Structure 1
């Protein structure tokens, strides 16, 4: 089966993922913009049984706009945010698509927090768009 490897800048924190992600989400919320330093976050969501994590992390936790608990895992050496957990997505890991550094990675399958999307950001045609967060997402409907 296909294996994909995500890692931080210094390679001290790695995530091995089996197969393709269940879904790939663009998030335009202001918290993701600030965390990534980009116009949006691009996260690949994998079921926990398809993920193997190696390396130490520092964790930043916050409560999202709709009460969702989020835990972001950063490499303590280089500071890169490689993966995160969301209370509404129990049993899944969000992995930073950029950490895979793979030009053939699957494209986004949904877009969240559209109201904060930069006007110049283009969303792939035909994917579902939402004004809110992952709390209404059922991963079983995305594979």
Structure 2
């Protein structure tokens, strides 16, 4: 079974996931833009189990549809590494950049296209949603 490790910038916080990527996507919502300091968040979904090493600070945000997302980031360097959605326990979403792997698979989905910066261009095969499709 394949394993991947994602970590924060300083290496204090990491997550090891097992198995294949369930899906990849980008989110252009304003909350993800503010959270990442970028114009979108790039995420990869993995099934449980996963192993976390180090200490994480948590921030819980309620999404537009009422879901609660628990973001984990390093209290030392501030890197956002992964998050979970309450009620969706068998899955974890990992920040693709935390893998530090330029060969990581491209996004399959793009949500909150209504907030996408006009100059951001994604591959044609990406499935696009104006807002959250859930």
TM-score normalised by length of structure 1: 0.88
Are the aligned partners of 1:29 and 1:113 in contact in 2 as well (CA < 8 Å)?
A: yes
Distance 1:88 1:98 in 2: 25
In structure 1, the residue corresponding to 2:127 is in which secondary structure? coil
The CA deviation string for residues 71-128 of structure 1, in whole angstroms up to 9 with x for no partner, is 1101111111100012364321110000000011111011000000011111221221
TM-score, normalization by structure 2: 0.93
Corresponding residue for 2:98? 99
Equivalence for 1:11: 11
Structure 1 residue 36 corresponds to structure 2 residue 36: yes
Deviation at 1:53, TM superposition (A): 1.2
CA RMSD in angstroms comes to: 1.3
Q: How far apart are the structure 2 equivalents of 1:129 and 1:13?
A: 32
SS in 2 for 1:35: helix
Q: How many residues align?
A: 134
The residue aligned with 2:78 is 79
